[in-house]
């Protein structure tokens, strides 16, 4: 199915703009929850060989917390929010009103709080997506894992690997004003969803 992944510069720009608005919504939502300003980089849109995705988050051995949601609808996709372990602990402290440095492992309440953040970010992102495309996309209940980036991404991308050897990745980096939180938000459409999205945007 790799022939579906030949996108023009205009189509990549359109996807980047959707990602920009979606990530902007998500950053605003996160900043309201934690009462700190969240900055974001302009999203990167790229066709990435599946085996190269762990390198985007500091290498396959970097310990991260991953929040994963499957997206259902006309354009099935995957959403992944990755936080370095240190940032995840910092975010938990912020959410729970604890002094920073208090959290050194995640209990059930901590994981629930982080998964709710995943819910909020995904909802804000997909609302923007709907504004551009009029495609309704519904996220699943989030799943959370703390492991090496390579292990988490292998699980997420295994299903995509059955469809081709590349993934279209819309990647946005978030950074809090005090540098305590940095994370990466990925939207990875199924290869078969790309034509649906591109057609909806209306870019030749």
The CATH number assigned to the domain holding 148 equals: 3.40.1550.10
- State the pLDDT confidence band at 105, using cuts at 50, 70 and 90: very high
What the block records as the tokens of 4 is 């579906």
Q: How many Cα neighbours within 13 Å face the side chain of 83? A: 26
Question: Per-residue pLDDT for 12 more than 50?
Answer: yes
CB proximity list for 22: less than 8 A, separation 6 or greater? 124, 125, 126, 127, 128, 129, 172, 187
**Burial class (CB within 10 angstroms; exposed 0-12, middle 13-18, buried 19+) of 3:** exposed
Residue 164 and residue 136 in contact, taking contact as beta carbons nearer than 8 Å: no
CB proximity list for 184: less than 8 A, separation 6 or greater? 56, 57, 81, 82, 171, 172, 173, 174
Identify the domain containing residue 57 by its residue range. 2-201
Read off the pLDDT of residues 131-172 as tens digits, 9 standing for 90 and up: 888 999 999 999 999 999 888 877 776 655 555 566 677 888
CB proximity list for 197: less than 8 A, separation 6 or greater? 15, 75, 133, 135, 189
What the block records as the tokens of 110 is 């901590």
What the block records as the tokens of 61 is 């051995």
Q: How many Cα neighbours within 13 Å face the side chain of 103? A: 23
Could you give the number of structural domains in the chain?
1
- State the pLDDT confidence band at 3, using cuts at 50, 70 and 90: very low
Nearest to 160 by CA among 26, 5, 13: 5
Per-residue confidence (pLDDT) for residue 106, from 0 to 100? 95
Write the DSSP symbol of residue 153.
H
Question: Per-residue pLDDT for 5 more than 60?
Answer: no
Residue 12 and residue 45 in contact, taking contact as beta carbons nearer than 8 Å: yes
Q: How many Cα neighbours within 13 Å face the side chain of 17? A: 13
Per-residue confidence (pLDDT) for residue 157, from 0 to 100? 67
Write the DSSP symbol of residue 41.
P
Residue 80 three-state SS: strand
């Amino acid at each position: 199915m790799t022939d579906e992944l030949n996108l023009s510069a205009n189509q990549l720009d359109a996807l980047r703009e959707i990602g920009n608005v979606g990530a902007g919504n998500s950053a605003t939502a996160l900043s309201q929850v934690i009462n700190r300003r969240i900055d974001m980089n302009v999203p990167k849109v790229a066709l990435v060989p599946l085996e190269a995705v762990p390198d985007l988050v500091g290498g396959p051995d970097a310990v991260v917390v991953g929040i994963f949601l499957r997206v259902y609808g006309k354009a099935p996709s995957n959403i992944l929010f990755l936080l370095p372990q240190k940032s995840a602990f910092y975010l938990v402290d912020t959410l729970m009103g604890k002094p920073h440095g208090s959290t050194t492992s995640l209990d059930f309440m901590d994981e629930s709080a982080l998964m709710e953040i995943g819910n909020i970010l995904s909802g804000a992102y997909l609302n923007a997506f709907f504004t551009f495309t009029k495609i309704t996309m519904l996220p699943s209940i989030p799943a959370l894992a703390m492991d090496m980036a390579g292990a988490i991404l292998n699980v997420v991308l295994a299903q995509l690997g059955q469809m081709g050897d590349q993934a279209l990745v819309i990647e946005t980096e978030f950074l809090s004003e005090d540098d305590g939180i940095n994370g990466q938000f990925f939207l990875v459409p199924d290869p078969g969803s790309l034509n649906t999205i591109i057609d909806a945007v209306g870019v030749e």
